[in-house]
Chains A and B, each alone.
Chain A
Amino acid sequence: MSEERDGMSPYGEHDDLGVIDDEYFVADLRAVFERPAAPEVADRHLTAMREVARDLLPPVAAEGVEAPFWTWPRRLGAAVAALAVAVLGLGGLGMAGALPGPVQDFVATVGDHIGLDVPKADGTVPGHRSTSGDTATTTSSGSAPGQTGSTPGQSGETPANGAEAPGQAGTTPGQSGTAPGQVDNPSATAPGQVGNPGATAPGKVDNPSATAPGQAGAGNPNAGSGNNSGNAYAGSGNNNAGGNGKGATTTTRP
């Protein structure tokens, strides 16, 4: 079609899309429609564009304008960094027990909520589960109720004060054997316990001969009521002699 330009024959003899592909026609359309904006219109357009650019684009790059240091992303980053330093700093000092008393107590309480053992100002750990013997009421000896005496520490729900476990064969608690989890084997965990060494073993010796009220002898799975002054973390275990019973550990919070 470029050859046609010399021929001065606009808008004639076309293929395909016809006149739409005609170079003369296109040139005339451009001449008529594609005219630049008048200078005053172009100024107006450019002013509007520059104002938007100044408002929206990064101010660093805008010519002649120095960027303010505290932009929003920087402010946000600084806030996050300050928060992280505060949390880590307070946490670290709190773990070391090096904070002032009230702050230490507060951090200990917060730590307790999120599962961290942070000592209070007096050195105790809130909610600590009898790991050091300073907080837990533990049983040092005695057999676990619900045993037959031949398989110590296996099972039986243990009322806090040594009541006989349900499902007992009538033996006296504390007869024989040593329940795991007692003091002489602090690292062992009796079935039915929650794996807290040193926690209360079944069959507390405070009242080793006590019988749990509500026991019904063999096969009675109901727990007896004991004099448990702390929390009871119950688990289930097997009772060779009296069927299934439940074991319990007691923990006394400070």
Chain B
Amino acid sequence: MIGEAFPEVLKAAQAGNSDALGRLYSECSPRVLGYLRSQGIADHEDIAAEVFVSMVRNLGSFHGDEDSFRGWVFTIAQRRLVDERRRRGRRPEEPFETEDLVEVLGIGSGGESGVESEALERLRTSGLLEAIEQLTPDQRSVLYLRAVADLSVPDIARALDKPETAVKALLRRAAATLNRRLAEQEGGE
């Protein structure tokens, strides 16, 4: 979170200041990358590069506070994702999305901290990672944007270009799936 300095950082970034662009990137990139990872996008780093380039290209037209900016960046990411899905849909031989989130996350290949491994282990043992993998792409998007990116329902609706009622419905269904899985897991223990 950039906080009070956000307006100045934004203004400097809009003027092409390299440090300000770096600051916006540092702030946004983990979430954007996380969003693309949560969608099971295999080459999420390349897609993320396109998102950030598009962000810079349209930065001059953005007006708003930091929360709006976060939502705006996710809007770009979602559009890029939809475009890429459409493009890859015509060439299905190229692997784009995978249901194996662990493969996308790259955890276990070294380089990650112990915190990440422990978190992954908890998600695995609770059965929630598997439940997340079984969610539809829309449900996964809503779950991530609500729980991880901390966007409000209206911001999610804007980012996904869906009505708020649809977002709420997706969120309820995703929660029901995860809760059911938790209950099954607890009942099995």
B175 contacts A45, CB within 8 Å? no
* Complex Cα gap A10–B33 (Å): 25
Contacts of A41 in B (CB 8 A): 45
Interface check A7, CB cutoff 8 A:
no
Of A26, A32, A50, A58, which is within 8 A of B116 by CB?
A32
14 interchain pairs, CB-CB under 8 A: A17-B175, A18-B179, A20-B147, A29-B123, A34-B31, A34-B33, A34-B148, A35-B34, A42-B29, A45-B29, A57-B14, A58-B15, A61-B15, A61-B16
Which A residue's beta carbon lies closest to that of B181?
A19
Binding site for B on A (CB under 8 A): 10-12, 14, 17-21, 24-38, 41-42, 44-46, 48-50, 52-54, 56-59, 61-63
Give the secondary structure class of A's interface: helix
In the complex, how many angstroms separate the beta carbon of B104 from the nearest chain A beta carbon? 9
How many residues of B are counted as interface, with CB atoms below 8 angstroms from the partner's CB atoms?
A: 54
Q: Is the interface of B mostly helix, strand, loop or mixed?
A: helix
Given contacts A19-B178, A50-B21, contact A35 B112 (CB under 8 A): yes
B: residues with CB less than 8 A from A are 14-18, 21-22, 25-26, 29-31, 33-35, 37-38, 45, 48-49, 52-53, 55-57, 59-60, 105, 107, 111-112, 115-116, 118-120, 122-123, 126, 128, 143-144, 146-148, 171-172, 174-176, 178-179, 182, 186
Asked whether, in the complex, the Cβ of B128 is within 8 Å of the Cβ of A19, the reply is yes
A32 near B172 with CB under 8 A, answer: no
Is B16 touching A57 in the complex (CB atoms < 8 A)? yes
Question: Is B21's CB under 8 angstroms from A46's CB?
Answer: yes
